[in-house]
Structure 1
Amino acid sequence: MSHPSAATSRLGRFRAALSESPPLLWAFIYFFCLLSGYYVLRPVREAMGASADVQAIFPAQMIEFFAARGMPLRDFTLQVLFTCTFLIMLLLQPVYGWLVSRYPRRVFLPVVYGFFIATLLLFYVLFNSGVPGRGMAFFLWITVFNLFAVAVFWSFMADVFSNAEARKFYGYIGAAGTMGAFLGPVLTRSLVERIGIANLMLVSAGFLSVCVVCILRLRLWAVAREQERKIVSGEVPMGGEILAGLKLIAREPLLRWLAVMVVTGVGVGTLLYNEQAAIVRRLYTDPAASTAYYATLDLAVNALTLVVQLLLTRFLLSRYGIAPALLIPGAAIILGFSILSASPLPVMVAIVQVVTRASEFSLAKPARETIYTRVGREWRYKAGAAIDTVIYRGGDLSFVWLHKLLSAFGSNVVFGAGLLVASVMTFGAWRLLREESKLPSERAAAAAPAGSTP
């Protein structure tokens, strides 16, 4: 009898939250559709990255170029893909900085999503026509899409919700994203054999179109909150330097420790991801089977994420602040890598992968994002985006090549290095908490100029 009562109580709290904060519903729909659209396509990307068929990934000219120089792409698939992703991030970061500096929110947010919708339509044509090299192009595109689209989402949420509201509502918003992340792989597994990969692009584009509608609705509450707090409006251009985000990270201790947390978090994830790809490459030779494996893994990650979000995230953030949500994932990952260092069994790799990703999505990410509700717009839209794009992919690039080096000595050495990285990540969380405690109250932060140090 207690379980239905508990479920009813949680549903009642959610309804009360919707009544208390009308924009919560639109944020809920926004994140649900955003991650639904992403996770429809993610299993396709993962299968491509783990594929042993190099011709299905790279253009013929690229394969010949590397082969002529004694570097067969079959042995460096992920290293080459991650290197190219980082280079793309370096090129796009100034473009993004120019966009947010020169155009108001009502312009650049729909433009970002409009760009991704247009490119999805282009991929629909490429996959239908069987253009060589489409696999690599899609892998790179979806990686960029994931980082920029989600970075923009959380920056925008910091415009809509106050710090107190973020602690109360980010758990609900995160759960909406997790439900969307559930739906995406389910749609992929149900539809890919019926309609083909090309038509999945159209399904994802449909979800992103709903995101644009949500942006236009949420803008009204963002404007109202700014007027209430008497701060510079997001409806006017932000101004400032194009590379201001990277300069802020170099200058401000809080942003530096945020960057350390992101890089080390990426490090443990990348070491796991590469070991797992090697296992999949050995055990699954059929692309459809490997796609199904990754879809199943995504479902497991999202199941654990949703449980934690519903039972713990809101409680921890509202009752104890961000400290437990930042430190618990570090402790869990340290434990997981300790086990893998002693016994790197494939099933244990999958379990630790699920725990690592779920703890990031359900606890660490919402906790870090609440910090941005107490700082200026330039910190949110420029520094935050730089951390989630260039810094993130820089970590990816470093650790994917580090894995290539360490893997020559065996899985135990890889996971031993991961244990060290996880320890640095936990230390970074502790230092971040010290810097976060120095932030002024939200009211004081609101009175500061948009790009100033809070």
Structure 2
Amino acid sequence: MRDVIASLGVGSPALWWSLLYFFSLLTGYYVLRPVRDAMGASADAQAIFPPALIAWAQGHGFSLGDFTLQVLFTGTFFAMVLAQPIYGALVSRFPRRVFLPGVYLFFIACLLFFYWAFARELPGRGALFFIWTAVFNLFAVTVFWSYMADVFDNEDAKKVYGYIGAGGTIGALTGPIITRLLAERVGVANLLLVSAAFLALCLVCILKLRPWAILRERRHGAASGEGAMGGSMLAGLALVWRDPLLRALAMLMFFGVGVGTLLYNEQAAIARHLAHDATRTTYYAGLDLGVNLLTIIVQVFLTRWLLHRYGVAPLLLIPAMAILIGFAVLSASPLPALIWVVQVMTRAGEFSLAKPARETLYTRVDRESRYKAKAVIDTVVYRGGDLTFVWLHKLLSGFGSNVVFLVGVGVAAGMALGAWRVVRAEKSLPDEVPRAAMAESRVA
């Protein structure tokens, strides 16, 4: 790694602070993820939903326990739709030095609230925590990568994004280990304080990276992020609609989420047979460990080499084709062991190859696309895919796993088509966006 650090125009401290930032962010999230997944896999509506909602469902002749994931994913989507314009207003009206720390301070405050709610066993805390965790994950991670595109230019991103991703994967390995060790010893409420401490470390990294973001902008004559971006809070939606590359990225995201959601629901069906919440939490933590071990191997040994030598094409197309083949196999033989293998392959391919490839593209677009349009794709489109495919799975599950995965072949084909369209569209991007283009406002 020393030769990479030495060749960075922005200097080695930016790489190390970025590694620490992503490590801390994903450690904090993966401490929470097994707790969230265990709640989603629970068939006990009393442990998840508020009594009033349970009573309403019973009054209408159905049990919420039969629709746990569907209700939670629907709530998550609407929460994301409500949060998106708030985020858009924040990035439009405040400079980077204000809205970046503000996002993380808000999430820390939420964790302190949930600490109180879990310690006092507040009714309905499970559903609220599940939805909040999903919103937190997408917004916190998309803000991270938007900031990285401010700190690193395209050439530097090709060199370091694989290593930064590996730092995040180490965090994603550390988080489940913490949860496995502490979940049954200290309880869920105290795990939330651990996560809050890691988010506080993210704030330190944001402040430390600020000079490097300013240096990159000055070096390339780019518009400064030290001033408010301006524009409409809904400009991201218009950008995605108009821009061919952003449309292709949205398509790739939608169908990519689809294959993951179908697998997630099958996985949840298996986990329902585990007796206790703590047992399910341990099960999900073990799966996360397996995914992240494979991810870090690919990130360290393949991602940088492929990205630097061949560009984004193989990093987007290889995972898409592997998932297409995996779903075809599952449609013929949906064995639990094969579902586990395809789940690991799907998530590891996304984290180690597809995501670093997509994120390098945002170093070559203007700041409004980087912060606003990217947030729309990473949050609203993402959760829209969740909502669509969680209900599709509910419809198909009555016909058996073979039918679920046969339809999944078509979803995986849509993902492969989206990847191909991104590869075509990115060829028209410049290596660096000049000052005029960066400053130009594309307001809805």
TM norm structure 1 = 0.95
How far residue 441 of structure 1 moved from its aligned partner, in angstroms, is 2.7
1:308 matched to 2:298? The reply is yes
Paired amino acid for 1:354: V
Superposed counterparts of 1:18-97, under 5 Å:
20-97=11-88
Contact 1:377 1:451 in 2 (8 A): no
Contact 2:184 2:278 in 1 (8 A): no
- 1:428–1:287: structure 2 CA closer, same or farther, 3 Å change rule? same
Query: Partners of 1:24 and 1:12 in 2: how far apart?
Result: 11
- 1:57–1:189: structure 2 CA closer, same or farther, 3 Å change rule? same
The residue that corresponds to 2:343 in the other structure is: 353
Query: Partners of 2:113 and 2:321 in 1: how far apart?
Result: 43
Query: Partners of 2:6 and 2:423 in 1: how far apart?
Result: 31
Contact 1:113 1:212 in 2 (8 A): yes
Contact 2:4 2:160 in 1 (8 A): no
Query: Partners of 1:428 and 1:447 in 2: how far apart?
Result: 30
- Give the secondary-structure state (helix, strand or coil) at the position aligned to 1:360: helix
Query: Partners of 1:149 and 1:247 in 2: how far apart?
Result: 22
**For residues 362-396 of structure 1, what are the alpha-carbon distances to aligned partners after superposition, in whole Å with 9 as ceiling and x for unaligned?**
00001001000001000000000010011110010
1:171 matched to 2:133? The reply is no
Paired amino acid for 1:300: G
The residue that corresponds to 1:290 in the other structure is: 280
Superposed counterparts of 1:322-341, under 5 Å:
322-341=312-331
Contact 1:171 1:313 in 2 (8 A): yes
1:372 matched to 2:366? The reply is no
1:190 matched to 2:181? The reply is yes
- 1:80–1:229: structure 2 CA closer, same or farther, 3 Å change rule? same
Paired amino acid for 2:439: A
Pick aligned residue for 1:410 from 382, 387, 400: 400
Query: Partners of 2:108 and 2:302 in 1: how far apart?
Result: 35
**For residues 209-263 of structure 1, what are the alpha-carbon distances to aligned partners after superposition, in whole Å with 9 as ceiling and x for unaligned?**
0000000111111011112222221010000011000110011111000000000
1:264 matched to 2:255? The reply is yes
State, as a whole percentage, how many aligned pairs show the same letter. Answer: 64
Query: Partners of 1:157 and 1:17 in 2: how far apart?
Result: 17
Query: Partners of 2:248 and 2:331 in 1: how far apart?
Result: 27
The number of equivalent residue pairs is 441
Query: Partners of 1:18 and 1:46 in 2: how far apart?
Result: 39
Contact 2:183 2:278 in 1 (8 A): no
Paired amino acid for 1:371: L
Query: Partners of 2:218 and 2:27 in 1: how far apart?
Result: 33
- Give the secondary-structure state (helix, strand or coil) at the position aligned to 1:22: helix
How far residue 275 of structure 1 moved from its aligned partner, in angstroms, is 1.1
Query: Partners of 2:189 and 2:69 in 1: how far apart?
Result: 23
Contact 2:5 2:15 in 1 (8 A): no
The residue that corresponds to 1:6 in the other structure is: none
Paired amino acid for 2:294: L
How far residue 351 of structure 1 moved from its aligned partner, in angstroms, is 1.1
Pick aligned residue for 2:391 from 387, 401, 412: 401
Pick aligned residue for 1:154 from 123, 145, 149: 145
RMSD: 1.3
Contact 1:329 1:363 in 2 (8 A): yes
Paired amino acid for 1:75: D
Paired amino acid for 1:116: F
The residue that corresponds to 1:448 in the other structure is: 437
How far residue 338 of structure 1 moved from its aligned partner, in angstroms, is 1.1
Query: Partners of 2:150 and 2:101 in 1: how far apart?
Result: 16
The residue that corresponds to 2:229 in the other structure is: 238
The residue that corresponds to 1:8 in the other structure is: none
The residue that corresponds to 1:180 in the other structure is: 171
The residue that corresponds to 1:3 in the other structure is: none
Contact 2:5 2:12 in 1 (8 A): no
How far residue 15 of structure 1 moved from its aligned partner, in angstroms, is 5.7
Paired amino acid for 2:374: G
TM norm structure 2 = 0.97
How far residue 452 of structure 1 moved from its aligned partner, in angstroms, is 5.3
Contact 2:43 2:66 in 1 (8 A): no
How far residue 21 of structure 1 moved from its aligned partner, in angstroms, is 3.0
Contact 1:375 1:445 in 2 (8 A): no
- 1:30–1:157: structure 2 CA closer, same or farther, 3 Å change rule? same
Contact 2:222 2:434 in 1 (8 A): no
How far residue 172 of structure 1 moved from its aligned partner, in angstroms, is 0.4
Contact 1:305 1:361 in 2 (8 A): yes
Query: Partners of 1:327 and 1:54 in 2: how far apart?
Result: 40
- Give the secondary-structure state (helix, strand or coil) at the position aligned to 1:131: coil
Contact 1:36 1:180 in 2 (8 A): yes
Contact 1:248 1:255 in 2 (8 A): yes
Unaligned runs of 5+ in 2: none
Query: Partners of 1:351 and 1:13 in 2: how far apart?
Result: 35
Paired amino acid for 1:118: A
